[in-house]
């Protein structure tokens, strides 16, 4: 059986064996029927010849060549053609005047500007309404309604002191003015926290074995509460913790208690605890010096200022060079976040209140003591803010401008005035402290360790009979309030304290310890002849 004939592409009697002449490469030939048509002009004749030549082409030649072409070559040509086509499509999409929006996941890059750490708006405390109502107000402090005998300020015969103590508490030349714009911090501000000087100060200012035993028990309790990471918590693991968490504040407060009794990260019975704590604390600091990012909005600046004090005091006590940049950054943040009014509050550079301002001022004074850079203008502005919340010679100090004064804020304001340069014989200083001691003494029936903390420091610096009367209650009543048995042995219960239900057991314990360490925690600001010490 003969093979089937291939279909012939020839028409009009044109033999298939004739090879057609080469055609124009870029011309498209029309598909017209093969017919002998009479054309009127030579142009149409040439067109007809082209069509006829095309029909003479032997397409079997192409078919044979395709059959003998390697498959890989055909595949490569097809794929290259497809890729070229896609490439032209992509180029076409990116050309022209059209705008293309490219989306990608961004990466956060921290900035050194303070605005990066703007603190969110104040959120209400997670407390039952009843708890807030019981503690949110403090008794008004009205000097005009008080009937207080004004004793004359006189010197007190103190126990004999050693040459070391006499050298540190040396008299300066009295100033003719009752105020000094800025008191320069003394390099020996924390010198009494350990060694023989600690024992001398304890004796000189009325500390006892009972007060020291209470401090030892309290520090042992704090040690047991340290978390594996080196920090402390406001909520636990102890009982009756705070309603809200603030690890930065908790860690700073615990550090200050250990340091107040003489321990640092390089020496002392709690050296290891302080070392772990400071390593945790500096890890919280960003490039602006801020350390309280995870605290609640209304607690951030409290925590920041307390952490600032801890770093500055630790650097002042040890001069450990690696601490300096962290402490300096905290001081720089204080300067950058000061409000136009001259103080600090919940948000940087916004408004001011006496409570937060007191903490920041203590941090700056600790920075001065450590030899850090502290702008004197920052301290001058603090004094101007205190002028707006204080009533001069006749009134105490208020929480904010326009509010009535209170005992706690008066104690804060007077302590700030002492560190800013008021001399001991300033009339407003004497009147304010005498009124506090006579009308708002330490009362175990109404504990308020926050008020006691500020009043105790101010009374201690002032000295004289006023301090003796205040300390007579402090050294007896405060140790008696300490838990002496059980799992919380060494701590102070928060339930009855004015702010204890907010702060929790760690808060009341730390502030009680600050009060009982007052005899040696800071060197006194004044001597006993109504002049400045430093």
What sign does the CA torsion over 108, 111, 113, 117 have? Answer: positive
Residue 490 Ramachandran class (φ > 0 left, ψ -120 to 50 alpha, else beta): left
pLDDT confidence band for 443 (50 / 70 / 90): very high
CB 183 within 8 Å of CB 362 = no
Judge whether 206 and 478 are in contact, CB under 8 Å: no
pTM of the model: 0.69
What is the 8-class DSSP label of residue 353? B
Provide mean pLDDT across the span 97-113.
41
Residue 249 and residue 234 in contact, taking contact as beta carbons nearer than 8 Å: yes
Greater pLDDT, 524 or 6 = 524
How many percent of the chain have pLDDT more than 90?
Answer: 61
Tell me the angle at which helices 500-516 and 449-462 cross, rounded to the nearest 10 degrees.
Answer: 20
Mean pLDDT of 356-379: 97
Structural domains of the chain ordered from first start: 9-70 (no CATH), 163-521 (1.50.10.20)
| Intra-chain end-to-end CA distance of the chain, in Å | 129
Q: What whole-number distance in Å separates Cα of residue 33 and Cα of residue 411?
A: 114
Q: Indicate if the pLDDT at residue 481 is higher than 60.
A: yes
Token pair for 311:
């770093």
Secondary structure in 3-state letters for 289-300: CCCCCCCCCCCH
Q: What is the pLDDT of residues 47-66, one digit of tens each?
A: 556 555 655 555 455 554 55
| Rounded Cα distance, 277 and 441, in Å | 35
- Distance, in Å, from the CA atom of 402 to the CA atom of 119, rounded to the nearest integer, reads 25
* pLDDT interval class at 33 (50, 70, 90): very low
Please give the Cα distance from 461 to 419 (Å, whole number).
10
**Residue with more model confidence, 254 or 17:** 254
Residues 6+ apart with CB under 8 A from 98: none
pLDDT score of 270: 98
Quick one: DSSP state of residue 497? S
3-state secondary structure labels for all residues of 5-32: CCCCCCCCCCCCCCCCCCCCCCCCCCCC
Confidence of residue 184 (pLDDT cuts 50, 70, 90): low
Both tokens of residue 400?
């904010």
pLDDT band at 77 (very low <50, low <70, confident <90, very high): confident
Residues 6+ apart with CB under 8 A from 329: 285, 287, 288, 289
Could you report the per-residue pLDDT of 255-278, keeping only the tens digit for each? Answer: 999 999 999 999 999 999 999 999
- Other C-beta atoms closer than 10 Å to the C-beta of 141 total 25
- Report the mean per-residue pLDDT for the chain: 78
């Amino acid at each position: 059986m003969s093979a089937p004939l291939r279909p012939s592409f020839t028409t009009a009697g044109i033999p298939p064996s004739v090879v057609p002449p080469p055609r124009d490469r870029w011309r498209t030939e029309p598909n017209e029927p093969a017919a002998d048509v009479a054309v009127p002009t030579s142009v149409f004749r040439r067109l007809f010849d082209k069509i006829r030549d095309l029909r003479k082409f032997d397409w079997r030649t192409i078919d044979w060549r395709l059959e003998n072409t390697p498959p890989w070559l055909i595949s490569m040509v097809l794929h290259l053609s497809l890729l070229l086509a896609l490439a032209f499509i992509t180029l076409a999409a990116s050309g022209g005047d059209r705008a293309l929006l490219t989306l990608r996941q961004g990466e956060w890059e921290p900035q050194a500007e303070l605005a990066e750490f703007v603190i969110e708006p104040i959120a209400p405390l997670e407390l039952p309404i009843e708890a807030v109502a019981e503690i949110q107000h403090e008794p008004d402090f009205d000097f005009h309604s008080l009937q207080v005998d004004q004793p004359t300020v006189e010197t007190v015969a103190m126990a004999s002191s050693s040459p070391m103590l006499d050298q540190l508490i040396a008299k300066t030349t009295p100033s003719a003015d009752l105020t000094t714009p800025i008191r320069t911090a003394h390099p020996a501000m924390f010198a009494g926290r350990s060694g023989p000087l600690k024992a001398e100060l304890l004796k000189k200012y009325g500390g006892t074995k009972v007060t020291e035993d209470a401090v030892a028990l309290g520090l042992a309790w704090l040690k047991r509460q340290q978390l594996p990471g080196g920090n402390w918590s406001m909520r636990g693991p102890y009982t009756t913790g705070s309603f809200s968490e603030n690890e930065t504040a908790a860690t700073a407060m615990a550090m200050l208690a250990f340091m107040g009794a003489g321990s640092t990260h390089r020496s002392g019975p709690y050296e290891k605890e302080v070392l772990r704590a400071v390593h945790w604390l500096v890890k919280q600091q960003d490039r602006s010096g801020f350390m309280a990012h995870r605290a609640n909005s209304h607690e951030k600046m409290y925590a920041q200022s307390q952490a600032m004090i801890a770093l500055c005091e630790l650097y002042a006590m040890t001069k450990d060079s690696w601490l300096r940049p962290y402490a300096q950054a905290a001081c720089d943040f204080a300067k950058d976040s000061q409000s136009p009014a001259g103080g600090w509050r919940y948000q940087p550079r916004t408004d001011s209140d006496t409570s937060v301002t007191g903490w920041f001022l203590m941090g700056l004074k600790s920075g001065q003591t450590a030899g850090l850079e502290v702008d004197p203008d920052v301290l001058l502005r603090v004094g101007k803010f205190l002028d707006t919340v204080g009533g001069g010679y006749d009134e105490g100090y208020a929480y904010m401008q326009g509010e009535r004064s209170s005992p706690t804020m008066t104690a804060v304001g007077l302590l700030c005035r002492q560190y800013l340069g008021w001399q001991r014989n300033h009339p407003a200083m004497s009147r304010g402290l005498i009124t506090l001691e006579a009308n708002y003494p330490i009362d175990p029936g109404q504990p308020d360790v926050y008020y006691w903390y500020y009043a105790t420091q101010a009374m201690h610096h002032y000295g004289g009979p006023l301090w003796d009367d205040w300390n007579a209650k402090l050294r007896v009543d405060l140790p008696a309030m300490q838990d002496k048995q059980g799992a919380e042995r060494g701590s102070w219960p928060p339930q009855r304290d004015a702010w204890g239900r907010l702060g929790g057991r760690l808060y009341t314990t730390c502030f009680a310890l600050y009060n009982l360490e007052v005899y040696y925690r800071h060197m006194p600001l004044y001597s006993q002849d109504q002049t400045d010490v430093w």
